[in-house]
Structure 1
């Protein structure tokens, strides 16, 4: 297996007196599925962590914290399904393009 060395220079942008060098790097999480999965998991952890304190939350008038976590979890599930469908569509588009 041969290693290919290239002497390509990254793109440069000059704005005013500053020069910005932009490397040709692919983003790590293009479809956002992993990011949304982590967010959904954190909302669920927040909900479960607040459950033992329901009485205290009720006494302080902060029960909405619990329901906010549940709503974040539920809405996150919709977002997760959206991101997964988008990932499948992009993969099908790549396969069709060749």
Structure 2
């Protein structure tokens, strides 16, 4: 078994897999919303157990998820515009 291959022996790298990051971010944000709802329902029990900070953590998780959705959408929009800008050169 050889551990190193020369450049002429390597197969080309596969094309990157296409994935929709929005689905992953939405799933995580929905998860945090479920946790937040549970924290609000059981607020008194969490405070008695000294776990009131979980509510704050869930709020931060939802906020970061929403920020992530904005970033993903802006990235997708920028990626869609990039090929078009290259084609609009002088004729």
- Structure 2, unmatched stretches of 5+, are 5-10
Offset of residue 69 of structure 1: 0.6
TM-score of the superposition, structure 1-length normalised? 0.68
Quote the Cα distance in structure 2 between the aligned partners of 1:63 and 1:27: 41
Q: Which has the higher contact order (CA 8 A, sep 6+)?
A: 2
CA-to-partner distance for each residue in 1:22-50, whole Å, 9 max, x for gaps? 873442316x2221111111111110122
Q: How many residues get paired?
A: 82
Instruction: Show structure 1 runs of 4+ deviating over 4 A.
Output: none
Structure (1/2) with the larger strand percentage:
1
Structure (1/2) with the larger helix percentage:
2
TM-score of the superposition, structure 2-length normalised? 0.73
